[in-house]
Amino acid sequence: MSIKFLADDDRPREKFLLKGKGSLSDSELLAIIMASGSKDETAVELARRILSSVDHSWHQLSLLTTKELTKFKGVGEVKAITIAAALEIGKRRATQEIPDKPKIAGSKDAYQILKLHLEDLRTEEFWALFLNQSNKVIHIEQLTQGGINQSIVDIRILFKAALDHFSTGIIISHNHPSGNLKPSQEDISVTKKIREAGTLLNIQLLDHLIITQNSYLSFADEGLL
């Protein structure tokens, strides 16, 4: 059934125009993105079913591949790509809202920046923030992309980037797709090596964040540096 045949209260596009985008539920927003449902469900009903399968979490929905999305009856490849593209736009918009050269006063500030790159990934990646003497971020860079369980950084590449950007401080970060915040022995070992290398170059390792979808662990806050 097309949206135009629904009752007024269940017509997301009309509701958008009459009451504004803020009045729409998550299901109604997703229905607009998909544009149509199936012969058995309206777009809103299909959207409710999809969101229910991921506990109504946009983050969880963003983890689904196009192949996984097409397993829902009424979602073909085009709809799946449209959903994935809309979620990616939202992620990029959030990234662009980071102010120029934000100042890092603590682990929460670093987390707010790094989570935009790391919280929704299925494989581990290693990122770094490069800071100047005022603790302002002058560069953000992905250094490695690993498998399901590990992403090992080349310390030489890390400090080459720091030197290239005249950085005096760095904050490193990687994600744990499993959701486990406990650092592994390898995490601790790599952190120690980076801290020691930074001491020789007069570039301070300020923190190491482990990021999951909903939280983070700070080596500095936990006294692990």
Strands (E), 134-214: 137-145, 169-175, 204-211
CATH (domain of 42): 1.10.150
189, 179 contact by CB (below 8 A): no
Is 225 part of a structural domain of the chain? no
Range of the domain at 141: 100-218
Q: Specify whether 104 is located in the same domain as 214.
A: yes
Is 212 part of a structural domain of the chain? yes
Domain boundary among 95, 116, 151: 95
Q: Specify whether 91 is located in the same domain as 111.
A: no
pLDDT digit string (tens) for 162-182? 999 999 999 999 999 988 999
Nearest one of 152, 165, 174 to 219, comparing CA atoms: 174
Q: Specify whether 49 is located in the same domain as 106.
A: no
Average pLDDT (44-55) is 94
Instruction: Give the pLDDT band (50/70/90) at residue 9.
Output: very low
Domains in the chain, number: 2
CATH (domain of 144): 3.40.140.10
Q: Is the pTM of this model over 0.75?
A: no
